[in-house]
Structure 1
């Protein structure tokens, strides 16, 4: 597949991942209304692991157990049992807007790590400016919704979540195991499921005792299939083809799209300031990707 022909495919998979991640918060809210959040995570990872194993068998993809593959599974699980666990815990201390704001800084952090520390890629001035503009726009969107009283415990938990997410991207890319996306996703889900077992003694008293509502099942089903399987396939496919900072930039777009979905589906009000902030974020994203678009598409077209 040539660079020109692969660009639409990459862009489509990228947007699918962003849309799933943007819809996941609403699905999580529905799924945890009647069940303890940590039990939702445990059941979600075990259920997703079973589905992934079935898909792996249907696709006849291998699930290698050599040392390199096992390391890659553990690295990928940091984006599951690591990042999402601390997001759920932080929800007890911070508003969702402030959580999205903090996690939205991950592309800037990833870009700094990749450029300054790991030396894996070089960012040009326009990319630096685009990332700064996008993060500034995100800050503007959530500035009014964030509570003035900020709990430091929640901030620490969100920072740990963000570091886990970024570390997962860099670690998987550094290991560079010759795994198919489905094999990588399945292995990471299995590691996450095994890791979630250690939470059970601490949440046993909250074990579900009744059948959840239809709405809760819909939310749980979405996180089980779309968020845990489809999103992971897209995620592992993208991190092998894009820079870590580019993949993590999806976390700038995700809260913006989630805000739009909330207004469309739940009739939530979007202030003029929020609309202005969305425009600033989109401008920053265009600035950041302009070099890549120009190299991979416009120059080929000419």
Structure 2
């Protein structure tokens, strides 16, 4: 019994850690940009994370190849980092952390839409289309109810661009299919992202930090650099090799709920009762979208 329960406990613990990190990251981003320009935070985060990743790579004795295929894969992975994260940091000036997480929860739905309409690699059934429609309706209700709070259409557009970058990165990395370990892939992508972030310097040089930010900003910054950039990535790749994709995708339902609670509790972000109804509708739509996968994965075994 112990030999069977121990691996399950480890897997469950890593899964819970991943969900918690992903749920906390939007709040950490909002905190980290309170006193420092968002792009400076991004640059420092990626250079710091690259150094830590290189150290871990050496410790794990994983290679960091620079052949043509590997370099393409690093570039594709960086689209998820410097591409997606760039727009998330910009959106932090317009949206609360809870709403950022809620919008990003749509990423698997957008991925399915791209796979169905553009790449022709996935066929969506009626229940999934209905789930998408319900989720979008719920999100529209949240925005309509929160017209007097910190919501700006610019932030929503930035989050949508971020989602497209994130999804494109996943498809691109999968297409390249380089024979890289998760740590090598992540380290290479972090280094590319750090170097690419230097292109921002001419536009933000005048906003260079001149003093140490407060404790809350530092907590947010350290969390995103270590937990969001490295630990979450290792947890994700560890789980994706051991669990069904549909099981990992369940995190897209749990993460926004936890993020909204954390934002309201730790950052005093207001959520009205009507907005809670809209959020519940969004979660219901996402569950409907994944229902086919979950039914095939689990109920067929019963």
Class of the TM-score when normalised by the shorter of the 2 chains: 0.7 to 0.9
TM-score in terms of structure 1 length: 0.82
Aligned to 1:19: 20
Q: Does structure 2 retain, via aligned residues, the 8 Å contact 1:104–1:252?
A: yes
Aligned to 2:44: 43
Post-superposition offset of 1:178? 1.8
Deviates more, 1:133-142 or 1:216-225: 133-142
Deviates more, 1:55-64 or 1:272-281: 272-281
Aligned to 1:3: none
Aligned to 1:264: 265
Give secondary structure in 2 for the equivalent of 1:210.
coil
- How many residues in Structure 1 have an aligned counterpart in Structure 2? 295
TM-score in terms of structure 2 length: 0.82
What is the alpha-carbon distance in structure 2 between the residues aligned to residue 236 and residue 75 of structure 1? 16
Distance 1:294 1:109, change over 3 A: closer
Give secondary structure in 2 for the equivalent of 1:174.
helix
Aligned to 1:66: 67
Structure 2: runs of 5+ lacking an equivalent: 1-6
Aligned to 2:186: 185
Aligned to 2:227: 226
Q: Write out aligned runs for 1:65-144 (5 A).
A: 65-92=66-93, 94-96=94-96, 103-144=104-145
Could you give the per-residue CA deviations for residues 235-280 of structure 1, whole angstroms, max 9, x where no partner exists?
A: 555677877x997886665443321212333454432222222332
Aligned to 2:166: 165
Structure 1: runs of 5+ lacking an equivalent: 1-5
Q: Write out aligned runs for 1:208-287 (5 A).
A: 208-236=209-237, 254-287=255-288
What is the alpha-carbon distance in structure 1 between the residues aligned to residue 186 and residue 239 of structure 2? 12
Give secondary structure in 2 for the equivalent of 1:143.
helix
Post-superposition offset of 1:125? 2.4
Distance 1:76 1:199, change over 3 A: same
Post-superposition offset of 1:80? 1.1
Post-superposition offset of 1:130? 2.5
What is the alpha-carbon distance in structure 2 between the residues aligned to residue 257 and residue 149 of structure 1? 19
Tell me how large the CA RMSD over aligned residues is. Answer: 3.4
Distance 1:250 1:119, change over 3 A: farther
